[in-house]
Chain A
Amino acid sequence: MNAKNWPLFEVFIRSKNGLSHKHVGSLHAADPAMALENARDVYCRRNEGVSIWVVPSDSITASDPGDAEELYEPAKDKIYRHPTFYSIPDEIGHM
């Protein structure tokens, strides 16, 4: 087994219960089990998390930065989609 051939994994960490997993970086590992341990060793050295996900990088389908114009621009002038026009009753508290 050659380090150059080890597949890449993306690492997601939940920093505390109630929050969602957040992408923190990537690493190389021979298989998912090793990826999980590597993630613990590389990304959880400073008390960063309570839960780890690792995902093979090639399982992720990503948008093309070149498509930014058609994907994101149209939303820019549609400010009415932001729920800032509604007043929230005090009892609701923080949303």
Chain B
Amino acid sequence: MGDNALILGQRLSEWCGHGPILEQDIALTNISLDLIGQARLWLSLAGQVEGQGRDEDRLAFFRDASEFRHLNLCEQPNGHWGTTILRQFLFDAFHLPLLEQLCKVENEQISGIALKSVKEVRYHLRWSSEWVIRLGDGTPESHLKMEEALRDVWPYAGEALQPNSLDEQLEIHAAPYNLNQVSELWWSTVQNVFSQANLEAPARTWAPQKGREGIHTERLGFILAEMQFLPRAYPDAQW
């Protein structure tokens, strides 16, 4: 959860100052900051549970690519506005039902972070859904660009829905966590928004991705180089 939020938040921050109009530049930066805020909470908790004295910054800035556990969708490049929107939508549509489940787990630290994040993510999904509809059902050019974005981003969407050994553990120990239900909700959101956007969802065949096991695309190295440079070059730097 923390790495998803961190890497996608970092990606979105690349738009800062480059948005198509000021209002949307701020909208995207807000989402980026929401995600980075969530990443701080999750990574602090992770460091605490690990118990080896690593805090949020240590985990964010001093791990190498293979130690990151986010979905490879999150690290895919921003592309054009439509690509960023679609990547965001496909993530939000997964992120929201997942957080809604985590709000109900017994562990109060997890449910606490989820309860705070879910309000932010509900808005993210509303925002990205509306943009998918606007662009998909917009001009011939915007529709074409959304189809292009679909080709680029869609293959990465499925990783979120494919269970690994961690999901099995969670389903046993962290009821009501159930990835199948998340997956069904994701699919119904996607179908609903795509039908309004005049977009056709491709078949649900996914490129095999193992981001959650630390196997990432070549994109991640570039993100880390930028994100981690300063704390690594000046380890004692203070904000």
Contact = CB atoms under 8 A, between A and B. Distances in A.
Interface of A: 1, 3, 6, 27-30, 33-34, 37-38, 40-42, 45
Given A1-B138, A28-B21, A41 B130 contact: no
Q: What 8 A-B pairs come out closest when comparing CB atoms?
A: A38-B23, A41-B27, A3-B21, A41-B26, A42-B26, A27-B23, A41-B30, A42-B23
A40 B24 CA distance: 11
Contacts of A34: 130, 134
A28 B23 contact: yes
Interface residues of B, number: 16
B51 interface: no
A30 B134 contact: yes
22 contacts: A1-B138, A1-B139, A1-B142, A3-B20, A27-B22, A27-B23, A28-B22, A30-B134, A33-B130, A34-B130, A37-B27, A37-B126, A37-B130, A38-B23, A38-B24, A40-B123, A41-B23, A41-B27, A41-B30, A42-B23, A45-B26, A45-B30
Given A37-B126, A40-B123, A42-B22, 9 more contacts: A1-B138, A1-B142, A3-B20, A3-B21, A37-B27, A37-B130, A41-B26, A41-B27, A42-B23
B15 interface: no
Residue from B24, B30, B123, B142 with most neighbouring chain A CB atoms (10 Å): B24
Interface in B76-134: 123, 126-127, 130, 134
Interface string B121-164: 00100110010001000110010000000000000000000000
